Amino acid sequence: MARRRYLYRGRILALALEDERWEIVEHKDAVAVLAERDGRVLVVEQYRVAIGARTLELPAGLIEPGEAPRQAARRELMEEAGFDARLREVLSFYTSPGFTDERITLFYAEDLTERRRPPDPDEALTVRWVETERLLADLHAGRLRTSSPTVAGLLWLASRR
């Protein structure tokens, strides 16, 4: 029987050793939102502490206790960009199942409605609409510093053409 011994329990993750051998990170599940309008995709430019650099990513965030994934996605889209939408689940996957149980669900936003102005851009986070073709070209050229749900979302769009 597998035994999991916890070395750390924190705010968004816990670290454990399974059978005194496997390093496991338990992590809250997450959501990401793919919103496209007029040939542009909604992306967030932000500084990521873990990699010490700025990224361009689909809006994303953690699922809070008691939330359904779809609710979390809707909340993130509103908080980060000021939009409401009808959300369709596209796919889900484990980000890196070799060491963490984090699972992310990607939603596609339909019937986008602007409810309020997006937050003022600041150093921490800027919302932008970037041409889908440019994002795909940058991805293929190795010029896009981004996350796994962003790659999944962009390639999903490209595969539907």
Instruction: List the one residue from 1, 3, 8, 120 that touches its own copies (CB under 8 A).
Output: 8
Task: Map tokens 């896009």 to a residue.
Answer: 144
Q: Which two tokens stand for residue 37?
A: 């309008």
Task: Give burial (CB, 10 Å; 0-12/13-18/19+) of 80.
Answer: buried
Contact indicator for 70, 108 with CB cutoff of 8 Å: no
Site for its own copies in 45-104 (CB under 8 A): 48-52, 55, 57, 60, 62, 89, 91-104
**Nearest-angstrom CA–CA distance, 74 and 90:** 14
Residue 158: strand, helix, or coil: helix
| Angstrom distance (rounded) from CA 144 to CA 146 | 6
- Which residue number, 86 or 140, has a Cβ lying nearer to its own copies? 140
Among 78, 112, 130, 139, binds its own copies (CB under 8 A): 139
- The span from the CA of 95 to the CA of 97, in Å, is 6
Nearest to 101 by CA among 11, 12, 35: 12
In whole angstroms, how close is the CB of 100 to its own copies at the nearest point? Answer: 6
Q: Which of 41, 44, 127, 152 binds its own copies (CB under 8 A)?
A: 152
Binders of its own copies: how many residues, by CB under 8 A? 56
Contacts of its own copies in 9-48 (CB under 8 A): 10-13, 15, 18, 22-25, 27, 30, 48
Q: Which residues bind its own copies (CB under 8 A)?
A: 2, 7-8, 10-13, 15, 18, 22-25, 27, 30, 48-52, 55, 57, 60, 62, 89, 91-104, 139-140, 142, 144-152, 155-156, 158-159, 161
